[in-house]
């Protein structure tokens, strides 16, 4: 069976979609777009991933890493 993913733009649209699904006895689930992470943090992580893909960055040995703590 196919699934349909809807993106309501406000709470009123979401409520209407839920009401229609309930009236038609269609199972549904909701998912919040809220993230526990700050947008700045997410952006930095994504930039780091992109930098690695482009070959930017340095390699550190375990010995060098261990030396940072001493």
If DSSP states are collapsed to H, E and C, what string results for 9-20? CCHHHHHHHHHH
Report how far residue 43's alpha carbon sits from residue 32's, in angstroms, rounded to the nearest whole number.
19
Judge whether 8 and 17 are in contact, CB under 8 Å: yes
pLDDT in tens, 18-55: 999 999 999 998 887 777 888 899 999 999 999 999 99
pTM of the full predicted structure? 0.46
- Residue spans of the domains in the chain: they are 11-68
């Amino acid at each position: 069976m196919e699934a349909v993913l809807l993106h309501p733009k406000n709470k009123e649209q979401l409520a209407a979609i839920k009401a229609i699904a309930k009236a038609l006895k269609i199972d549904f689930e909701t998912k919040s777009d809220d993230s526990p992470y700050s947008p700045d943090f997410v952006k930095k992580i994504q930039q780091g991933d992109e930098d690695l893909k482009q070959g930017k960055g340095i390699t550190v040995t375990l010995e060098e890493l261990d030396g940072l703590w001493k």
